[in-house]
Amino acid sequence: MTRASAAMQADAILLAAEGEQAELYARLLRARFGAQRVRVWPQQGEPLSEIGYACVWKAPHGLPARCPNLKAIFNLGAGADHLLADPVLPDVPVVRAVHRDLSMRVSEYVVLHVLMVHRRQRLYDAQQREGVWQVHAQPGANEMTVGIMGLGHIGQHAAGLLRALGFNVVGWSRTQKSVPGVETFHGDAGLDAFLARTEILVCLLPATPQTEGLLNLALLRKLRRDGAAGGAFLINAGRGRVQVDADIVAALEEGALAGAALDVFPVEPLPADSPLWRHPRVTVTPHNAGDIAPEILVEEIARQIARCERGLPLENTIDRTRGY
Ligand code: NDP
Ligand code: OXD
């Protein structure tokens, strides 16, 4: 058999996933494609020449490179930074998770924490602990501005929901974007003007060399603090490497930030000695802002494999030069 025909015939599916959903993915892939066709890491055995497709989440680097006839890699999440850091990643299309279900789940997290700030829930929780019955002035949503960094699939979805609730929404992206009802800024040149309007900063950026460490003290100091929100707030549901944890603590201490809700961290799990765990104005969640429903993602993978087998281009592929 020639190399080209071996590659054409390779249609087995390798699943290499870390985490509590790995078993569910194995079950769903077997049910969708047949048990014969699915190999599950680390019991996948050898040779790997029959593998045409790899479905991965935090898989060991070097594993895809051991599949000589690989046609595509499916990243079982939206952010593919772990996968792209594989120094020997084969030069095949990398498809990432993009679906309304995922956008909705992450947007729920964003809306939850924007409303926590807007409705001063931390203050009322504290009052409840003390048995205090006291009403505070409640500004309208239209008096507050939420700034979204990253106007991609998820950022635009969250922007739409926040607009529907009445918030002013501004957005920032790498390239120019036009989003209904949202004042948009882009690139380095647009960043300061975006920050100057933003009271509640929502980060939905991928981790790339350009975004690494962007949420630092100098940037946080540029947020608007004298608006109806009563200070500046940070919500990060993008990637942890975009933030500098020590700078967030410093910004909270000096007043540049009034509070933060953080779902992602440069080191995960968040180390036990991180001051963020116990900071009274920080909400920590274990990187669970949004996981696409595995049932939906497996159907998406099946749809894309069918495209690939019909010779059609794959959708939602990563641009490796951009890094997302
Ligand atoms: P998209 O690729 O659709 O959007 C990414 C956005 O970020 C784009 O608007 C892009 O700009 C912008 N961006 C990228 N680099 C820069 C930069 N250097 N400067 C300014 N803007 C930049 O991604 P999604 O919306 O699908 O997902 C966003 C991220 O959310 C994922 O990469 C992932 O890391 C994270 N995520 C986290 C989850 C969680 O549970 N916490 C769950 C799901 C996703 P442009 O439009 O110009 O290209
Ligand atoms: C993702 C994630 O990128 O879960 O999908 O963080």
What number is the average pLDDT over the span 270-274? 98
CA distance 238 to 287: 9
Ligand 2 geometric centre to CA of 221 (Å) = 28
First to last CA, the chain: 36
What number is the average pLDDT over the span 248-252? 98
Residues 169 and 304 in one domain: no
| C-alpha separations of 51 from 32, 74, 276 in Å | 16, 13, 43
Residue tagged active-site, from 66, 239, 279, 322: 239
Residues 173 and 268 in one domain: yes
**What pLDDT is stored for residue 46 in this prediction?**
87
For residue range 273-317, list pLDDT tens digits in order. 999 999 999 999 999 999 999 999 999 999 999 999 999 999 999
**What pLDDT is stored for residue 5 in this prediction?**
64
**What pLDDT is stored for residue 288 in this prediction?**
97
User: Considering only CA atoms, which of 309, 259, 239 is closest in space to residue 116?
Assistant: 259
Report whether pLDDT(1) > 60. no
Give strand pairing partners of 200. 146, 233
User: Considering only CA atoms, which of 133, 20, 3, 30 is closest in space to residue 12?
Assistant: 30
**What pLDDT is stored for residue 107 in this prediction?**
98
Ligand 2 geometric centre to CA of 79 (Å) = 5
287 in active site: yes
Q: What is the CATH number for 216? A: 3.40.50.720
- The predicted model scores a pTM of 0.97
Give, for ligand 1, the residue of 113, 204, 283 to mutate: max count of ligand atoms closer than 8 Å to Cβ.
204
Query: Which-ligand-closest: CA of 213?
Result: 1
Residues 84 and 152 in one domain: no
Residues 137 and 273 in one domain: yes
Task: Identify the residue whose C-alpha is closest to ligand 1 atom 36.
Answer: 238
3-class state of residue 90 by DSSP = coil
Q: Is the CB of 77 under 6 A from ligand 2?
A: yes
In terms of residue numbers, what domain contains 193?
100-284
Give, for ligand 1, the residue of 95, 174, 194, 287 to mutate: max count of ligand atoms closer than 8 Å to Cβ.
174
Mean pLDDT taken over the chain:
97
Report whether pLDDT(33) > 70. yes
What number is the average pLDDT over the span 31-38? 97
User: Cβ distance 257 to 225 under 8 Å?
Assistant: no
Report whether pLDDT(2) > 80. no
Q: What is the DSSP letter of 239?
A: -
Q: Is the CB of 153 under 6 A from ligand 1?
A: yes
Give, for ligand 1, the residue of 76, 184, 205 to mutate: max count of ligand atoms closer than 8 Å to Cβ.
205
Percent of the chain with pLDDT over 90: 96
In DSSP notation, 185-216 reads EEHHHHHHHHHHH-SEEEE-PPP-TTTTT-BS
Residues 112 and 244 in one domain: yes
Query: Which-ligand-closest: CA of 153?
Result: 1
User: Cβ distance 195 to 147 under 8 Å?
Assistant: yes
**What pLDDT is stored for residue 6 in this prediction?**
62
Q: Is the CB of 86 under 6 A from ligand 2?
A: no
What number is the average pLDDT over the span 258-266? 98
Ligand 1 geometric centre to CA of 137 (Å) = 35
User: Considering only CA atoms, which of 260, 242, 240 is closest in space to residue 251?
Assistant: 260
For residue range 113-127, list pLDDT tens digits in order. 999 999 999 999 999
CA distance 139 to 72: 50
* 314 domain-assigned: no
Structure confidence at residue 268 as a pLDDT band (50, 70, 90): very high
Residues 94 and 128 in one domain: no
Residues 179 and 236 in one domain: yes
Tell me the two tokens of residue 165.
Answer: 């609730």
**How many alpha carbons fall within 13 Å on the CB side of residue 204?**
30
User: Cβ distance 298 to 34 under 8 Å?
Assistant: no
For residue range 5-28, list pLDDT tens digits in order. 666 689 999 999 998 899 999 999
